[in-house]
């Protein structure tokens, strides 16, 4: 199994994200979790572009399909591996971000789509917080209600450099 696939599997485990690509929701969840893992310091080589559901990496999509295939063929090389301690610490610092706050009535994948979209729009495309919120309102109406809470959450994680 390729080292990047092992790093992908172990990174998801460290974030308590189940590796399951059977639904679009699960694939969105994986995309956003890996996006945040990389922003937080565990860069395993994926580059993200803007997509209908926020930050998206075609290479990551290809890799999680390959990983699923390898696992289905019995390859469990990842079981005897561990992430290096600094990477584990980077991921551990943002693990709680993966949880939907009690006052937010969204599924986990929706919540991470909102968070990742706001982060990407501000940090990567350079939109202001207000312009990012307006883009969410225009493109993701069902998520807009929680923009304020999402911004608050993003600001609580210094390693994401949302407020810089």
Predicted confidence (pLDDT) per residue in 53-96, tens digit: 999 999 999 999 999 999 999 999 999 999 999 999 999 999 99
Token couple for 47: 């580059």
Which DSSP state fits 57?
-
Question: Alpha helix (H) ranges present in the chain?
Answer: 3-14, 24-39, 58-72, 85-94, 108-123, 129-139, 141-144, 147-155
The number of folded domains in the chain is: 1
For residue 164, what pLDDT band results from cuts at 50, 70 and 90? low
Residue 73 placed within a domain:
yes
Residue 108 pLDDT more than 80? yes
Instruction: Tell me, yes or no, whether 89 lies in a domain.
Output: yes
Q: Average pLDDT in the 131-143 region? A: 97
- Read off φ and ψ for residue 91, nearest 5 degrees: -70, -40
| Nearest C-alpha neighbor of 8 from the set 59, 74, 72, 73 | 59
- The pLDDT score that the predictor gives to residue 163 is 85
- For 62, the domain range is 3-159
Task: Report the candidate in 64, 78, 76, 52 with the shortest Cα–Cα distance to residue 26.
Answer: 64
Please report the pLDDT score of residue 95 as a whole number.
Answer: 96
What's the 3-state SS for 121-150? HHHCCCCCHHHHHHHHHHHCHHHHCCHHHH
Cα 35 from Cα 31, distance rounded (Å): 6
Let me know if residue 164 belongs to a domain: no
Q: In the chain, helix, strand, coil percent, each to 5?
A: 65, 5, 35
Say whether pLDDT at 162 is over 70. Answer: yes
Determine, yes or no, domain membership for 147: yes
Q: What percent of the chain has pLDDT over 90?
A: 99
CB 49 within 8 A of CB 55: yes
Does the structure show a pLDDT above 70 at 98?
Answer: yes
């Amino acid at each position: 199994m390729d080292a990047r696939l092992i790093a992908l599997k172990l990174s998801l485990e460290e974030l308590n994200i189940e590796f399951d690509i059977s639904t679009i929701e699960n694939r969105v969840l994986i995309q956003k979790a890996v996006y945040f893992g990389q922003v937080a310091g565990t860069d395993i080589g994926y580059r993200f572009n803007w997509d209908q559901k926020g930050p998206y990496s075609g290479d990551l999509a290809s890799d999680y399909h390959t990983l699923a295939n390898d696992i289905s063929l019995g390859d469990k090389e990842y079981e005897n591996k561990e992430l290096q301690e600094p990477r584990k610490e980077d991921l551990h610092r943002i693990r709680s971000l993966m949880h939907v706050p009690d006052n937010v009535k969204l599924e986990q994948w929706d919540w991470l789509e909102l968070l990742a979209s706001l982060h990407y729009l501000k940090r990567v495309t350079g939109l202001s917080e207000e312009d990012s919120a307006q883009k969410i309102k225009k493109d993701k109406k069902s998520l807009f209600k929680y923009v304020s809470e999402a911004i608050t959450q993003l600001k609580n994680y210094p390693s994401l450099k949302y407020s810089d």
